[in-house]
Amino acid sequence: MPLLTILSCKILQDEIVHILENDSSVDEILIVGNGQEDDFVSKLRKADLDFRLLSPAKLRIDTESYRNDPEKYTVMIYMVELALHEFPKILRTEIYKLIDELSKCSNGILMFYGLCGNVFDKIESDFKHLEGTCPVRILRDDIRTVDDCVGATLGGCEEYLAALKKFSEHGTFLFTPMFAHAWREIMRVDPEKPDKTIKMLKKVNEVTGYKRVAKVQTGLTYTENFDEKVDEFAELFDFEVLEIEGGQNLFEKCYSDIKEEVLGKAQ
């Protein structure tokens, strides 16, 4: 049975917990202990999911028995530093490097990413040479790769465009639970001088016309205090709070598709 790796942005950790919690065919869960996994590991424990932490330096050795075990289906999770989103070219370089490394110890790789500023628009074709041994897939709807994590949560590109049109009157931040949890990190608020950064963000919002924040309801509750975090953000910037429905269908389908693909090759 194969080892499938999910290479993920930290923003989408709840979606991975949901998949693992609802797939009874997963025999083993492996987590790469690279310093980005703490929140994710805590959620796995709360969901009563067993896992093993692996050192990034010993992945090829430590995963060998899982890759060659005919009786077990294993999923390995690699969380990527959130701050890299601020630097698209560096993010692309890092992800491409990771795929090169992870493909040596995986039977398939599912990227929990969207286009992310178009840096991943050719990733499947760029790794076409791995098709026979470790196919690489990215989050996509029925037509193309999704734009980003919010687009994936809303169900795909068409749904994302509809949401953007709906909120086009004023600039609107779309917050999933994890985005609400990590907005200070994402917007690079200086923890030592937060007032200075927030003052600058207020000016940027004023210039760009951002006046609202919309809660994207994912159907998941792994990240706590979603409403409170959004309300805190809205109060800080004097924003109106809206709401929009999201879901897990796209994540579930992308996972199911590559799982079926790698299991088929293993038979």
Report pLDDT digits (tens) over 75-93: 999 999 988 888 889 999 9
pLDDT at 70: 84
Distance, CA of 94 to CA of 3 (rounded, Å): 22
Per-residue pLDDT reduced to its tens digit, 214-236: 999 999 999 999 999 999 999 99
Cβ atoms 120, 113 nearer than 8 A? yes
Distance, CA of 116 to CA of 118 (rounded, Å): 5
pLDDT at 211: 95
pLDDT at 68: 84
Quick one: tokens of 203?
């000016």
Cβ-count burial of 34 within 10 angstroms (0-12 exposed, 13-18 middle, 19+ buried)?
A: middle
Q: Model pTM?
A: 0.95
Count of alpha carbons within 13 Å of 125, Cβ hemisphere only?
5
Quick one: tokens of 48?
């009563």
Per-residue pLDDT reduced to its tens digit, 186-221: 998 988 889 999 999 999 999 999 999 999 999 999
pLDDT at 87: 86
pLDDT at 212: 97
pLDDT at 150: 95
Over the chain (267 residues), the average pLDDT of each successive run of 10 is 94 98 97 96 98 95 90 96 86 96 96 94 96 96 95 96 92 96 92 92 94 97 97 96 97 97 84
CA 196, 197, 201, 203 dihedral sign is: positive
DSSP 62-106: HHHHHHT-TT--EEEEEEE-GGGGG-HHHHHHHHHHHHHHHGGG-
With residues binned 3-state (H G I as helix, E B as strand, rest as coil), the percentages for the chain, rounded to 5, are: 50, 20, 30
pLDDT at 160: 96
